[in-house]
Chain A
Amino acid sequence: MSVSPSGQARTPSFAERISEHLIGPCRLIMLRTPIHNVVTWCGSFHSAPDMGNKEELLLQHLVVSMLDKGAGTLDRFAVAEILENKGAELAFSSDVLRIDFSGRALKKDVKEVLGLTALQLREPLLAGEELAKAKDRISASIKRSMESTSAQASGALRRRIYGASHPNYIEESEERLEQLQRLSIDEVRAYHAAHFGANACTLVVVGDVDESAVNEAVENHFAGWPSRDASPHFAETPEEHDPGVSTVAIPDKENVDVRLGHALAVRRNDPGYIPAFLANFALGGNFSARLMQTIRDEMGLTYGIGSSLSGVSTEYDGHWQVAVTLSKEYVQRGIEETVKQIRHFVAGGVTPEELEEKKTTVTGAFKVGLSTTFGLAKTLLSNVEQGFEIAYLDEFPDRVESVSVDEVNRAITQTFVPDSLHITLAGNVREADLSL
């Protein structure tokens, strides 16, 4: 039964609902939703770092962490005062090849806060006296990741799979800490000047949107933002490495994080992506998937286990990984049972009933994920970043529904190779005590 008062009327497509404009070099997408008084936006632009030069990523992090420390004629407190007096939120982050920015504000404040967003991106003060504090914050963040078994196991897996110039590579924490201290404020400013510009800049605004006010703000503050001619340099494919084991020993961590994974020759825009996505989902996509049902629910070996297609993009290859947490006494058995389940899955594939269940899960979860302004804005932005038409979002549920069992089982045998799995562990564990 339906308890909706609105009945079963056809939901207009995204293509019908959005309003899209090219303003200067920026693509602006707006979507009005029935929420009262709340507006959320997500945006990004290419920063085009040279991944062969690891200092560039740290410089990028430093610029991003200093964007809120003053801009134009406003010092850091004046910038903060504008936001804090309105209860508005604004955040910047570095996503390797892109800079992301997002915000949320009450309807009446959107125009001003969007203007402030542009000012911070375009004219940050990057004051010399703020550099040491920015370094301390990044250093603290790196040190926290050194305490995290999850971060260490994931980093070790990526170092086994990728070369240093791949966007998914994560450098050793100690090396990053050393490099960070060497960087100067002149280098930070030079990086901003060369890489922060309206390159493939997209802004998605969702909620109780006053379209003319947003248009005006973008026209006034983003339209004149020049592009930069920096071009990204990065490896698109992983390196060929024999499968092996890496252990990051961390004292006092009785829960051991384990990653099993290998490189993946599937890109986000390949026809085989959705079958591979569904295949992975059946194995480890949620609580009802094979790994949680066996390793956790039946055997009680872990609190959490799941698998994912990680770091997959239209621009470069990613990897497939299984992540599992194991108490020290169950590490050996937990890994053995996990590999056994993976082999069983690859050998036997999915059943038609299992695939139908996963399809309705994925399409239902897609709908649920679009129920907040942030969920909508982020999904629309990601869609643009991947180079898809807006219609792709409307078509996504049908594309999922149309995948056959044969396609998924072919994806399983072509995509997942148990004999190629790298294994990485982080925690209070010694490789010598294990037989892997």
Chain B
Amino acid sequence: MDIPKGFAFEETSGGVEAYRLEGNGLQTLLLRDATAPVATFMITYRVGSRHEPEGLTGACHFLEHLMFKGSARFNKQAGTSVFNVLQRVGARVNATTWLDRTNYYEMLPEEHLPLAVEIEADRMRGALLQDEDMERERTVILNELDRGENDPVRKLFHAVWAAAFTVHPYHHPVIGWRDDVERLTPDGLRHFYDTYYRPDNATVSIIGDFDKTEALGLVHRHFGQIASPEEALPAMHVCEPAQEEERRVVVRQAGWQGAVMVAWKSPRGLEADTDALDMLSAILSAGKNGRLYRRLTDTGLTTSAWGGISRFCDPGLAYVFARPAPDKTHEEVESAIHATIDEIKENGITEEELQRARNQRKAQAAFSRDGSFSAAAELNEAIAAGDWKLYTAMQDRINRVTGKHIQRVAREYFVEHTCTTGYYIPDGEASS
């Protein structure tokens, strides 16, 4: 294989080729997609709210906002702000912060790919992070926070995660607690930037109709000069103590449509048991033949019901969410959720259900290659969970899951003492 200068080839899987810049450790993933003359460039930093200590919650998200305020080369005063330069060529540009990662991406006509690479390399170490920008952005973020607080379901998710995790930073909402967002300092953000925004803590992904040698050449030219600090990345040692009894939370807010969320502790994203929980979630909630639809929605107990899992670096939550139908109580819905789970714990699932879930995942895998951005989005979460091959190997992992495995994880993880239940109860008095 002809490997461009400066790179070491690491491996290939599912059409994705992985390289590493030898000088600074930057991982580079390439996925050829010739379906349209459009490319997606994405950089994923392995830092998220998981890395935030008490008092600094919301720092990663705040930093993500400030990264758009400019660098010495790309800034508003010069008429070259990141948004301005990229949107001028039709790019979809944005960034997101989540529990284990922060990502920045550009989806743009492929001839402008060099611009995206240049900008992301420039702001990896060249962001200005100025005090006055931080103050202006603080009220923007507080408005974002208020927008989120308007949504009772979002508050319910926050409340359940906060109750389920008492020590681990998954306790915090990604946007941060209001008091912290109001008090975060430039030094606090600079600390995060200097500690985590470095080549050996990042992965760049390029998806589109590109020439491999030229694409790697771009990465080498723009990122190759950035040195990774000699200090090792700080190790994460936070471990959530075992949950020993069921926890319950209630969110009350003016409104008209209640909700129930039942969540259980689940393993790390890369573990095989998470694959089985993933399939169990599909069997619970995929369509009208899903267990939840048949038992809860088709019987008129709920207007909707579905399950989900988390695939994070550290153990997270598997959950069921449901909206009670009019005149049905939260307690009735909660009881039906447990009955649905108990039935699987007792009798397992059918081969037909398992095959249906496999077929659905197979189709979803094909759909995820429809456009460069959807593949980027899935790669992003796999990188965050700890291994980009989670994306390419998912079908094989899913096919290894058996009915017995699903029954075993249902019995092992869906247990009372690791359960956290949340109700959103619309406040009738306030609503009226």
Judge if A214 is at the interface, Cβ distance under 8 Å.
no
Query: Bound complex: CA of A289 vs CA of B302, how far in Å?
Result: 43
B255 within 8 A of partner (CB): yes
Measured CB to CB, the closest approach of chain B to A247, in angstroms, equals 16
Chain B interface size range = 35 or more
B362 touching A87 by the CB < 8 A rule? Answer: yes
* B326:A139 contact, CB within 8 angstroms: yes
Residues of A contacting B81 with CB < 8 Å?
A: 288
Q: Does A254 contact B (CB under 8 A)?
A: yes
Q: Are B300 and A367 in contact (CB under 8 A)?
A: no
Chain A positions 134 through 171: 1 when the CB is less than 8 Å from some CB of chain B, otherwise 0: 00110110011011110000000000000000000000
Q: Do residues B88 and A368 form an inter-chain contact, with CB atoms below 8 A?
A: no
Find out whether the CB atom of B34 lies under 8 angstroms from the CB atom of A34: yes
* Contact string against A for B residues 121-155, beta-carbon threshold 8 Å, 1 for contact and 0 otherwise: 00000000000000111111111101101111000
Which residues of A are found within 8 Å of B374, using beta-carbon distances? 372
Chain B residues in 8 Å Cβ range of A251 = 254, 427, 430-431
Q: Which of these binds chain A: B18-26, B238-246, B331-339, B353-361? A: B353-361
**Contacting residues, chain B, for A83 (C-beta < 8 A):** 287
| Distance A288 CA – B81 CA, assembled complex (angstroms) | 9
Q: CB-CB contacts of B75-102 with A at 8 A, as 1s and 0s?
A: 0100001011001111111000000000
Asked if B87 and A371 sit within 8 Å, CB to CB, the answer is no
User: What mask results when residues 200 to 243 of chain B are scored 1 for a CB within 8 Å of chain A, else 0?
Assistant: 00000000011100110010000000000000000000000000
B256 contact set on A, CB distance < 8 A: 143-144, 146-147
Given A3-B218, A367-B90, are A301 and B325 neighbors across the interface (CB < 8 Å)? no
A111 smallest CB distance to B (angstroms): 15
Which of B35, B147, B366 is in CB contact (< 8 Å) with A325?
A: B147
Indicate which residue in A35, A303, A366 contacts B143 across the interface (CB closer than 8 Å).
A303
Chain A 30-67: CB-based contact to B (< 8 A → 1; otherwise 0)? 00011111101000000000000000000000000000
- In contact, A255 and B147 (Cβ under 8 angstroms): yes
* CB of A436 closer than 8 Å to a CB of B: no
Residue-wise interface mask of A (89-118) relative to B, using a CB-CB cutoff of 8 A (1 in contact, 0 not): 000000000000000111000000000000
Residues of chain A within 8 A of B112, CB atoms compared: 364
Q: Can you list, as one digit per residue, whether each of A367-389 has a CB less than 8 Å from chain B (1) or not (0)? A: 11011111100000000000000
Contact B38 A252 (CB under 8 A): no
Q: Which residues of B contact A68 (CB under 8 A)?
A: 288
- If A251-B254, A364-B109 touch, does A33 touch B36 (CB 8 Å cutoff)? yes
Contacts A106-B366, A255-B149, A374-B370 given; indicate if A4 touches B111 (C-beta within 8 A).
yes
Asked if A38 and B253 make an inter-chain contact with CB atoms under 8 angstroms apart, the answer reads: no
| Partner of B87 from A5, A288, A325 at Cβ < 8 Å | A288
Q: Say whether, besides A87-B361, A147-B152, A371-B36, A357 and B139 are in contact (CB < 8 Å).
A: no
Judge whether B366 and A140 touch: CB under 8 Å.
no
Residues of A contacting B107 in the complex (Cβ-Cβ under 8 angstroms): 368, 371
Report the separation of the CA atoms of residues A148 and B151 in the bound assembly, to the nearest whole angstrom.
8
Counting CB contacts under 8 A, is B110 at the interface?
Answer: yes
> Are B91 and A364 in contact (CB-based, < 8 A)?
yes
CB within 8 Å of B: which of A348-366? 357, 360-366
Residues of B319-365 at the interface with A, using a CB-CB cut-off of 8 Å, are 323, 325-326, 355-356, 359-364
**A4 and B90 contact, Cβ closer than 8 Å, known pairs A81-B289, A140-B304:** no
Verify B150–A255 contact, CB threshold 8 A: yes
Q: Which residue of A lies closest to B325 (CB)?
A: A136
A297 touches B136 (CB 8 A): yes
Q: Which residues between 174 and 210 of chain A lie within 8 Å of chain B, taking CB atoms?
A: 207
Q: Is the CB of A255 within 8 A of B91?
A: no
The answer to whether B12 has its CB under 8 Å from any CB of chain A is no
Known A-B contacts A85-B356, A136-B303; A326 and B84 likewise in contact (beta carbons under 8 Å): no
A431 to B360, CA, bound (A): 51
Distance between Cα atoms of A327 and B182 in the complex (Å): 14
Q: How far is the CB of B424 from chain A (nearest CB, A)?
A: 10
Asked if B248 lies at the interface with its beta carbon under 8 angstroms from chain A, I say: no
| B372 CB within 8 Å of chain A | yes
B136/A327 in contact, CB under 8 A: no
The answer to whether B88 and A303 touch across the interface, beta carbons within 8 angstroms, is no
Do A77 and B288 touch across chains, with their CB atoms under 8 A apart? yes
Whether B13 is near chain A, meaning CB under 8 Å from some CB there, is no
A427 contacts B by Cβ under 8 Å: yes
Interfacial chain B residues near A228, Cβ < 8 Å: none
| Cα of A288 to Cα of B88 in the assembled complex, Å | 9
Is A133's CB within 8 Å of the partner chain B?
yes
Chain A residues near B218 (CB-CB < 8 A): 3
> Taking the complex as formed, is A253 at the interface, i.e. its CB lies under 8 A from any CB of chain B?
yes
State the CA gap A346–B403 with chains docked (Å): 65
Known A4-B210, A137-B303, A251-B431: A368·B38 in contact at CB below 8 Å: yes
Q: Which of B35, B88, B144, B211 contacts A3 (CB 8 A)?
A: B211
Q: Does B400 contact A (CB under 8 A)?
A: no
Q: B209 to chain A: which residues have CB within 8 Å?
A: 4-6
A6 (CB) vs chain B CBs: closest residue: B209
Q: Contact at A254–B255, with CB atoms within 8 Å? A: no
Q: Does B371 contact A (CB under 8 A)?
A: yes
A223 at the interface (CB under 8 A from B): no
B residues less than 8 Å from A137 (CB atoms)? 303-304
Please tell me if A330 contacts chain B, counting CB pairs below 8 Å.
Answer: yes
Whether B43 sits at the interface, judged by CB under 8 Å, is no
Q: How far is the CB of A250 from chain B (nearest CB, A)?
A: 7
> In the complex, A323 Cα to B88 Cα: how many Å?
23
B-binding residues in A (CB < 8 A): 1-6, 11, 33-38, 40, 68, 76-77, 79-81, 83-88, 104-106, 132-133, 136-137, 139-140, 143-144, 146-149, 207, 250-255, 286-288, 293, 296-304, 325-328, 330, 357, 360-368, 370-375, 427
Interface residues of B (CB under 8 A from A): 34-39, 76, 81, 83-84, 87-93, 107-114, 135-144, 146-147, 149-152, 209-211, 214-215, 218, 253-257, 286-289, 294, 297-298, 300, 303-304, 323, 325-326, 355-356, 359-364, 366-367, 369-374, 427, 430-431
A selection of 28 A-B contacts at a CB cut-off of 8 Å is A1-B214, A3-B39, A3-B210, A4-B37, A4-B209, A5-B209, A33-B35, A38-B366, A79-B288, A81-B289, A88-B363, A106-B366, A133-B300, A147-B255, A252-B253, A286-B83, A288-B81, A300-B135, A304-B147, A327-B143, A330-B143, A361-B88, A361-B89, A368-B90, A371-B36, A372-B373, A375-B371, A427-B150
The 7 closest A-B pairs by CB, nearest first: A364-B90, A87-B363, A80-B288, A372-B371, A371-B36, A255-B146, A143-B256
